[in-house]
């Protein structure tokens, strides 16, 4: 099945791939010896609900002619593989000190440890989310949602493969050790936690899952977008293909929150009430609780972008390792050595802005792109509220709200950006972040609906099914 252009996945191989793995026996053997470890990790840490088969999308080609094949498969037999976007033989570096030079096909010795670190940090998030979501199947609101959860899970597993391929193929012995460690660390583990904070938070209910796929997978989209610009071409091509899969994860989040808001709005309008207790009593999630979950997931996802200023990131940029979001569309010199920018900062103890060299402000640049994208979701949910005739609106909290990383880590702020004392925060934060009571209520709604064509009462059905199939399709056959 492998073609000359190398875009079609070869499924005759033990490890499906479009990188000509059979031509490199040593690499092939190394990955084949990692494969059983991956499978035992999947058994142990992957989806806990036993399913006979799931209607899944599998990548079969990365080309423009279409790349996805749909069919019922047992998750354990999912064809995880290695797929890179097509190589552009003329690709040039788009930014930094090597601007205009041919993209690298190998890792330059001087950037080896930095590139390895970038691959490891990205790679660590992929299996982490599978671990965080492993118990959700037991409380799925419908077979359609269950299928989407499993699709996200197998693709995050494939993203782990993508990063492990890079580690094995380009980083020698250290790379192989890092690949082992990606399976050794676990989300929330006391001894060996995942690297980034948000990936050690549990995803205990489906509202959290939708918020995670909306806000945290979207952080992934922006990180992958910067790595797609990398001078290191195999990393760039890997990320380009991962971004296509990531789009589905965010669709799950966007439409999932749409449907939660829609159901709540429907009950509020029908009963002419804005009383959260009444909405809760009728089996849906009060709007103020949705807002609290939004506040939480958005703020922890902002932390994933790192500090407002970073000399590491400035160095990554200048070295060509990590670019900006849509670097090619930026109208500047793509070197930024003489530019400045305003970043969010604590100025004389107040929430404000400070001017810094543009290179050190690149985390802020990326976070702002992300925030603008997040706002588009909020606008869409507000449209659902408006169409139901309701005056209430959802909103993104201020950048200083609930931050544990960066300029605002040491202060407390309200969702509208007012600086608060520790006492004020303690008194008021239960209005802004999910309390134990909220969480217990949301979890109490999470009764499984595993019957074909049925759906839980707290969420509206989707407007469309998957791959043209109806909502009442048998997306999953449970064991």
Which positions lie near Fe ion, rule CB under 5 A? 126, 156, 159, 217, 246, 249
CB nearer Fe ion, residue 213 or residue 309: 213
What is d(CA 309, CA 362) in angstroms, rounded to the nearest whole number? 7
State the nearest-atom distance from the C-beta of 159 to Fe ion, in Å. Answer: 4
Q: Return the H-helix or E-strand segment holding 28.
A: helix 25-45
Angle, helices 172-184 vs 112-132, to 10°: value is 20
Both tokens of 64, joined, read 């423009």
Place of tokens 């930014």: 95
CB nearer Fe ion, residue 128 or residue 449: 128
What is d(CA 348, CA 315) in angstroms, rounded to the nearest whole number? 28
285 contacts 141 by C-beta, under 8 angstroms: no
263 contacts 460 by C-beta, under 8 angstroms: yes
First to last CA, the chain: 33
CB nearer Fe ion, residue 126 or residue 201: 126
What is d(CA 313, CA 294) in angstroms, rounded to the nearest whole number? 28
State the nearest-atom distance from the C-beta of 322 to Fe ion, in Å. Answer: 17
CB nearer Fe ion, residue 144 or residue 222: 222
State the nearest-atom distance from the C-beta of 152 to Fe ion, in Å. Answer: 6
State the nearest-atom distance from the C-beta of 314 to Fe ion, in Å. Answer: 26
CB nearer Fe ion, residue 220 or residue 415: 220
Place of tokens 């707290």: 458
State the nearest-atom distance from the C-beta of 213 to Fe ion, in Å. Answer: 7
What is d(CA 353, CA 204) in angstroms, rounded to the nearest whole number? 36
Place of tokens 């509206």: 460
Characterize the bridge pairing of strands 476-478 and 51-59: antiparallel
Contacts of 396 (CB under 8 A, 6+ apart): 294, 298, 371, 374, 375, 378
Q: Which of 271, 290, 215, 275 is nearest to 458 (CA)?
A: 290
Contacts of 306 (CB under 8 A, 6+ apart): 313, 363, 405, 406
CB nearer Fe ion, residue 123 or residue 306: 123
State the nearest-atom distance from the C-beta of 341 to Fe ion, in Å. Answer: 29
Burial class (CB in 10 A: 0-12, 13-18, 19+), 275: exposed
CB nearer Fe ion, residue 181 or residue 472: 181
State the nearest-atom distance from the C-beta of 157 to Fe ion, in Å. Answer: 9
CB nearer Fe ion, residue 126 or residue 240: 126
CB nearer Fe ion, residue 233 or residue 246: 246
3-state SS class at 476: strand
What is d(CA 178, CA 154) in angstroms, rounded to the nearest whole number? 21
Q: What are phi and psi of 353, to 5 degrees?
A: -135, 150
Radius of gyration, CA atoms only, the chain: 23
CB nearer Fe ion, residue 159 or residue 292: 159
**Which ranges in 46-142 belong to alpha helices (H)?**
112-132
What one-character DSSP code corresponds to residue 404?
S
State the nearest-atom distance from the C-beta of 155 to Fe ion, in Å. Answer: 7
CB nearer Fe ion, residue 153 or residue 360: 153
State the nearest-atom distance from the C-beta of 249 to Fe ion, in Å. Answer: 4
State the nearest-atom distance from the C-beta of 283 to Fe ion, in Å. Answer: 30
State the nearest-atom distance from the C-beta of 156 to Fe ion, in Å. Answer: 5
What is d(CA 83, CA 10) in angstroms, rounded to the nearest whole number? 10
């Amino acid at each position: 099945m492998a073609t000359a252009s190398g875009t079609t996945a070869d499924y005759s191989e033990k490890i499906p791939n479009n990188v000509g793995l059979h031509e490199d026996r040593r690499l092939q053997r190394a990955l084949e010896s990692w494969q059983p470890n991956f499978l035992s990790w999947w058994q142990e840490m992957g989806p806990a609900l036993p399913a006979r088969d799931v209607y899944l999308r599998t990548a079969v080609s990365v080309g423009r002619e279409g790349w996805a094949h749909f069919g019922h498969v047992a998750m354990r037999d999912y064809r995880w593989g290695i797929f890179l976007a097509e190589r552009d033989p003329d690709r040039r570096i788009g930014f930094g000190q090597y601007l205009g030079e041919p993209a690298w096909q190998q890792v330059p010795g001087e950037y080896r440890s930095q590139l390895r670190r970038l691959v490891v940090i990205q790679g660590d998030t992929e299996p982490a989310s599978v671990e965080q979501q492993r118990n959700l199947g037991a409380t799925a609101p419908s077979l359609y949602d269950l299928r989407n959860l499993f699709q996200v899970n197998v693709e995050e597993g494939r993203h782990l493969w993508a990063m492990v391929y890079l580690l094995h193929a380009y980083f020698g012995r250290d790379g192989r050790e890092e690949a082992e460690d990606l399976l050794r660390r676990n989300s929330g583990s006391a001894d060996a936690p995942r690297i980034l904070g948000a990936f050690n938070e549990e995803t205990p209910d489906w509202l959290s899952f939708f918020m995670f796929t909306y806000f945290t997978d979207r952080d992934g989209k922006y990180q992958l977008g910067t790595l797609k610009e990398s001078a290191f071409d195999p990393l760039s091509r890997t990320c380009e293909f991962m971004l296509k899969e990531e789009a589905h994860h965010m669709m799950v989040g966007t439409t999932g929150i749409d449907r939660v808001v829609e159901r709540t709005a429907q009950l509020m309008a029908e009963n002419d009430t804005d009383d959260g207790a009444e909405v809760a009593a009728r089996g849906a999630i009060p709007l103020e609780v949705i807002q609290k979950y939004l506040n939480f997931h958005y703020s922890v996802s902002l932390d994933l972008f790192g500090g407002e200023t970073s000399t590491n990131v400035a160095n990554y940029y200048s070295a060509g390792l990590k670019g900006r979001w849509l670097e090619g569309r930026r109208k500047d010199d793509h070197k930024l050595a003489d530019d400045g920018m305003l970043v969010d900062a604590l100025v004389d103890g107040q929430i404000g802005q400070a001017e810094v060299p543009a290179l050190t402000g690149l985390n802020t640049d990326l976070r702002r792109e992300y925030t603008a994208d997040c706002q588009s979701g909020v606008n869409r949910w507000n449209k659902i509220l408006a169409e139901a005739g309701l005056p209430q609106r959802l909103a993104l909290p201020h950048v200083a709200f609930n931050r544990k990383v960066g300029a605002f880590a040491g202060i407390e702020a309200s969702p509208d950006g007012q600086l608060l004392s520790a006492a004020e925060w303690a008194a008021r934060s239960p209005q802004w972040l999910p309390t134990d009571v909220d969480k217990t209520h949301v979890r109490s709604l999470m009764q499984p609906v595993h019957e074909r064509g049925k759906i839980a009462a707290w969420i509206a059905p989707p407007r469309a099914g998957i791959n043209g199939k109806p909502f009442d399709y048998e997306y999953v056959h449970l064991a």
